[in-house]
């Protein structure tokens, strides 16, 4: 069934029609937090420069994204696809909040939640939009035919793989494909803008909330900027 609220959005990846994300400026001295006022693993404190987004603000912003999704899709059957593995913490928080919203909504007429969960890994083997794409973890993509699909990402970097994946899903006849991402990096050459985005951040190395830098920092609840010491230490 068409969702009227989606008519205000532009083509997938354009970012047109979306509510603007919270903008974190390029000057980190005035747009970040001193790591000393947060709990950071003391054994790796030198690997972190600053706290960019505190855990509490992440939780609040994720809740607002969940409300925005409910406002757009209402009671429509919604298929939420988590891109493993970095997106899992953000995805879990988003889904948990959506469950509470659906349960508390007095206007809800269906007796079940109107969304379904899927988990996939996506890899692109070239640096281009037309390269080979490998998708694992979801064998029955035909079940998405005629359904509304939302891809859940932790961060949109260049967006090239995400562009490919959206085209891939549309080939299976999804009624609509949209994206929600905790972060969107202002990176030169980015080709994709999300539809529901928590924060727009500068082009810096960040870890935490599922994000990692060569397997470092995924466990932090805050989104943190990696120090130059950390960049060199964990470089591969």
Q: What is the pLDDT of residues 177-233, one digit of tens each?
A: 999 999 999 999 999 999 999 999 999 999 999 999 999 999 999 999 999 999 999
- Say which DSSP state 230 is in: H
Residue numbers annotated as active site? 157
Rounded to 10 deg, the angle between the 55-73 and 88-104 helix axes is 50
Look up residue 105 and give its two tokens.
């909504």
pLDDT tens, position by position, 94-125: 999 998 888 888 777 765 667 889 999 988 75
Residue 104: the pLDDT is 83
- Please, is 172 exposed, middle or buried when counting C-beta atoms within 10 Å of its C-beta (0-12, 13-18, 19+)? middle
Q: Is 74 left (phi over 0), alpha (psi -120 to 50) or beta?
A: left
> What integer pLDDT is reported at residue 125 of this predicted model?
57
Per-residue confidence band for 5, with pLDDT thresholds at 50, 70 and 90: confident
Within the chain, strands assigned E span 22-23, 48-53, 78-83, 115-124, 133-136, 148-156, 176-185, 196-201, 206-207, 223-226
Q: How far apart are CA 132 and CA 120, in angstroms?
A: 16
The whole-model pTM stands at 0.91
Q: What is the pLDDT of residues 81-101, one digit of tens each?
A: 999 988 999 999 999 999 888
Q: Report pLDDT for 127.
A: 40
- Convert the pLDDT of each residue in 128-186 to its tens digit: 444 578 888 876 778 899 999 999 999 999 999 999 999 888 888 999 999 999 999 99
pLDDT digits (tens, 9 = 90+) for 24-65: 999 988 889 999 999 888 888 999 999 999 999 999 999 999
Residues 28-39: tens digit of each pLDDT: 888 899 999 998
């Amino acid at each position: 069934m068409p969702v009227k609220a989606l008519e205000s959005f532009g083509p997938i990846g354009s970012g047109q029609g979306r509510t603007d994300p919270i903008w974190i400026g390029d000057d980190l001295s005035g747009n970040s937090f001193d790591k000393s006022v947060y709990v950071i693993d003391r054994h790796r404190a030198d690997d972190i420069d600053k706290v960019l987004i505190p855990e509490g603000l992440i939780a609040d912003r994720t809740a607002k994204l969940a409300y925005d999704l409910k406002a757009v899709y209402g009671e429509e059957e919604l298929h939420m696809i988590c891109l493993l593995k970095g997106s899992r913490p953000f995805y879990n928080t988003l889904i948990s909040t959506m469950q509470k919203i659906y349960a508390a909504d007095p206007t809800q007429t269906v007796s079940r939640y109107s969304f379904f969960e899927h988990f996939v890994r996506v890899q692109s083997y070239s640096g281009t939009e037309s390269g080979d794409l490998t998708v694992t973890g979801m064998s029955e993509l035909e079940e998405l035919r005629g359904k509304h699909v939302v891809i859940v990402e932790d961060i949109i970097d260049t967006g090239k793989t995400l562009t490919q994946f959206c085209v891939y899903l549309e080939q299976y006849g999804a009624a609509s494909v949209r994206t929600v991402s905790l972060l969107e990096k202002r990176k030169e050459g980015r080709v994709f803008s999300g539809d529901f985005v928590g924060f727009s951040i500068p082009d810096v190395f960040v870890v935490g909330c599922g994000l990692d830098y060569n397997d470092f920092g995924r466990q932090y609840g805050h989104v943190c900027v990696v120090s130059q010491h950390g960049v060199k230490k964990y470089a591969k």
